Structure 1
Amino acid sequence: MTATVVPLRPDRVPSLKPLMSLVAAGMNDVNRVILDRMQSPVALIPELAGHLIAGGGKRLRPMLTLGCAAALDYAGTRHHKLAACVEFIHTATLLHDDVVDGSDLRRGRATANTIWGNAPSVLVGDFLFSRSFELMVEDGSLRVLKILSHASAVIAEGEVAQLTAQRMVETTEDRYLEIISAKTAALFAAACQIAAVVAEREARVEAALEAYGRNLGIAFQLVDDAIDYVSDAATMGKDTGDDFRDGKVTLPVILAYARGDEAARRFWRHAMSGRANGEAELAEATARLHATGAIGDTHARARLYGSRAVDALALLPPSAAKAALAETVEFAIARAY
């Protein structure tokens, strides 16, 4: 059974194309920075980093930096290196995440840790983090450095918090929202906020773009939580039910556990413990998620945060860039991957 996500504007199918078209020229410069800065005389570093960077990701976070800069009519080039910095932070966290999770697939391809092993993946992730800090320092703005370095620390805290909450079905919705605000939304927020800094806009504009990115990031993660149970490997680029098998207590599970009777709660405790998480248990878990409305309500929460993201753009004047940013939110809500 596949859930249908209702977009914020149901009269049309949202797309990422407006944002991609808007920032295409700038992304060429960003990609040149990425390719240049991931080089190293140690051959394994560009080989492993290139495997993930070339893996077909949308590069949404750096595109948001460029899109927000366009919405502010910024005509400079500082944001190109900073967008590359954002992508390096994101890529480093992916390398580390795949090691922690023991993942075999990323965007439909074998993960770096599967090919080269855990140690090289962690160390190349460290290399990319270091490169990101070099780019921050080169920009020369202490404000930018503060925003991005703080986001890096918050992301790490969020990942540790998620690890400590693993298999804990009693995790509350509020606690889970705190975790994803840190591990996912913090980089979305920073990627958008730094555009206001380089454009030298006032604090209220900076706060608005931070709120746009943060709420978009939360919505994005909530949709990921839901589609882990209702999509497929070919669509997602990872195995269906990975969160379930890893014992990740995401919002659908939190809602289903809270709404279940004692028999249902026993099922979730047993399944999340890792003692019963095969295909039959995954099918039962998915059925229980639908029966309790947990999938639909996770989508509803994603739409709520998506609406908040769009509302945060109200401060900006009408423009093609603003419209593209709003449609990016709709795409994040309605996407199937």
Structure 2
Amino acid sequence: MGSVVQLKKTINNSYSDLLKSVEDKLILVNEKISSKLTSKVDLIQNMTDYHLDTGGKKLRALLTLSSSKLCGYSKGGRDINLAACVELIHAATLMHDDVIDNALVRRNKKTLNTIWGNKSSILVGDYLLSRCFEMMVEDGSLEILKLLSSTSSEIAQGEVLQLQHHGEIDMLEETYLKIISLKTAALFSASTKVGAILANRDNKYKEALEFYGKNLGLTFQIADDALDYNSELKLFGKKIGNDFYEGKITLPIILLYQKCSGEEKKYLKNLFEKQNRDENEFKNTLEKIKKYKIINECYIKAEYFINLASNSLSIFEENQDKNILKNLTSFSLERNF
């Protein structure tokens, strides 16, 4: 399992380098988020305090700060304000996600909906989004307001599209990519494009960072979905098998259904039509995934998007900030299981 250890090291190192490069500003982002979530309504305050305590990597905020730095933005605190904004959009979508998925745990802590119920979680998610729009307006850029508001719309459409295809075992790979493009990659893309907008860079730089973020987001989601079917690896704070138990059709299941025999197809179809799935069924599915080397195929597909993301940065001059973003795409995705 040497390749697994290597992957974990590479991810941790690339994230650590990103964090160190903008660490001072991330402290200000966290302060901004905390101040924006202050409320006179006790329930909102309690729930947002709890959410802040759960932590998280703040990857999207880091991407906004790093892309701003890459593009030469240095005057003022707009990057801090907008990094906080994209992080709050992400947080709001997680709150809504957990309600839709009936999720019990996130980042090894009980979800808000488990403690306070679905109604409160949805409304507090909406509260976060309303705060985001306040911050967009405060920034004063119509271009950024248009970008982040349309991104919020795309995320919602991705959620609905995933719901529309829930349990659809013969889902097209194209449909899956469309869902994760909207749900995940859209916010990655906006997070990085913001940097070029803040620095008033030409359209080619905006488009390059937009393309970089989109393909980085696709890579992360494919990796996340694949890791959910690997009991040896727990990198993303998710309990292994969550997608399976929730009946989500992700890339490993799509590829497995394409490759397996007629009898196995029938078994999978019946499995995902059921309301609930048990541990033995998960174990059986994992055996089939190993049999057909599905995880390896997932990472081959992810590698395609990694290369697109990395190549899109070629128009920027060679410097440490560029290398940090480039290294974030460069983890080894080859598998031997």
Q: TM-score of the superposition, structure 2-length normalised?
A: 0.93
Are residues 187 and 13 of structure 1, via their aligned partners in 2, closer, same or farther at CA, if it must alter by over 3 Å?
closer
Map of 1:215 onto structure 2: 215
Q: Would the alpha carbon gap of residues 328 and 151 (structure 1) be closer, same or farther in structure 2, given more than 3 Å must change?
A: same
One-letter code aligned to 2:151: A
CA offset at residue 275 of structure 1? 5.1
Structure with more contact order per residue of length (Cα contacts < 8 Å, sep ≥ 6):
1
Distance apart, 1:5 and its partner CA = 8.7
Q: 2: CA distance between counterparts of 1:153 and 1:135?
A: 17
1:255 matched to 2:293? The reply is no
**2:76 corresponds to 1:74:** no
- Pairwise CA distance, 1:307: 1.5
Identity %: 39
- Find the aligned partners of 2:148 and 2:292 in 1 and give their Cα distance: 39
Give the length in aligned residue pairs. Answer: 332
Report runs of 4+ in structure 1 exceeding 6 Å deviation. none
- Whether contact under 8 Å (2:4, 2:233) holds in the other structure is no
Q: Which residue number in structure 1 is paired with residue 15 of structure 2?
A: 16
Helix, strand or coil at the partner of 1:15: helix
Shift of 1:123: 0.4
Residue of structure 2 equivalent to 1:193: 193
Partner SS, residue 228 of structure 2: helix
Structure 1 residues 101-180: aligned runs within 5 Å: 101-180=101-180
Q: 1:187 to 1:168 in 2, by over 3 A?
A: same
Distance 1:16 1:333 in 2: 16
Is 1:99 matched with 2:106?
no
| Whole-angstrom distance in 2 between the partners of 1:174 and 1:72 | 33
**Amino acid across the alignment from 2:321:** A
Call closer, same or farther: CA 1:2–1:290 in 2, change over 3 Å: farther
SS of residue paired to 2:185: helix
Change (3 A) 1:4 1:234: closer
What does residue 28 of structure 2 align with? Answer: 29
> For 1:103, what is the secondary structure of its paired residue?
coil
2:58 is matched with: 59
> Residue 202 in 1 paired to residue 207 in 2?
no
Letter in 2 for 1:140: G
- Report the secondary structure of 1:135's partner residue: helix
Shift of 1:238: 3.0
Q: Does the CA contact (< 8 Å) of 1:113 and 1:121 recur in 2?
A: yes
Alpha carbons 2:234, 2:240 under 8 Å: kept: no
Q: Deviations over 1:177-225 (max 9, x none)?
A: 0100000000000000011101000000000000000000000000111
Using the alignment, how far apart are the partners of 1:330 and 1:51 within structure 2? 34
Q: Does 2:79 correspond to 1:84? A: no
Tell me the amino acid that sits aligned with residue 206 of structure 1. K
Contact 2:227/2:233 (<8 A) preserved: no
Distance in 2, matches of 1:315 and 1:180, equals: 27
Unaligned runs of 5+ residues in structure 1 are none
Structure-2 change in CA distance of 1:135 and 1:275 (3 Å): closer
Alignment partners' CA distance in 1, 2:250 and 2:118:
25
Identify the residue that residue 281 of structure 1 maps to in structure 2.
281
Shift of 1:329: 2.0
Structure 2 portions without partners, runs of 5+: none
| Cα contact 2:224–2:236 (8 A) shared by 1 | no
TM-score, reference length from structure 1: 0.93
Per-residue deviation at 1:248?
0.5
Give the 3 Å change call, closer, same or farther, for CA 81–313 of structure 1 in structure 2.
same
Amino acid at match of 1:45: I
CA distance in 2: counterparts of 1:59 and 1:307, whole angstroms: 23
Matched, 1:293 2:293: yes
Q: Which moved more, 1:69-78 or 1:130-139?
A: 69-78
Q: Distance in 2 between matches of 1:253 and 1:207?
A: 33
The Cα offsets for residues 10-57 of structure 1, whole Å up to 9 and x where unpaired, read as: 8x9743111101111111111111010000100211221222232120
Aligned equivalents of 2:183, 2:12: Cα separation in 1: 29
CA 1:99–1:264: 2 relative to 1, 3 Å: same
- One-letter identity of the residue aligned with 2:64: T
Partner of 2:46: 47
Distance in structure 2 (CA, Å) of the matches to 1:135 and 1:67: 20
